[in-house]
Amino acid sequence: MTKQYEAVFIMTPVLSDEQMRETVSKFHNFIVEKGAEVVHQDNWGLRKLAYPIQKKTSGFYHLIEFKAEGTLIKDLEIAFKRDERIIRFLTVSLDKHAIAYNEKKRAAQKSAATN
């Protein structure tokens, strides 16, 4: 059964812009190759961490929202753990209220951008 998920991951701040984009495309392609549909992506940029992780105080944040089978999540999280550029990640299953909220938020951003 296909469900909608949201994965947020933090990449180490020592990456160049090109390395960061390469890492994001690696995970985007991983998700697509496993048969999932990417609904939305959002690059949050370089942000300060709430607490140091691996002696780093900032990191590049990226969000990918996708529809997939539940079996993909385990493989995706293993890939996150194996990649030394990822310092933290979180994958959550979205319920109907979270999906509606995300769609409403994206629609508001689109209308604000066009005005």
User: 2-114: what fold?
Assistant: Alpha-Beta Plaits (3.30.70)
Closest CA to 7 of 92, 113, 102, 69: 92
Which pTM was predicted?
0.90
Mean per-residue pLDDT, 57-61: 96
Q: What are phi and psi of 48, to 5 degrees?
A: -75, 135
What are the start-end ranges of the E strands in the chain? 2-11, 37-53, 56-69, 86-93
62-81: per-residue pLDDT in tens? 999 999 998 999 999 999 99
Closest CA to 39 of 75, 10, 69, 68: 68
User: SS3 of 20, please?
Assistant: helix
Check residue 98 and give its pLDDT: 92
Tokens of 71: 């079996």
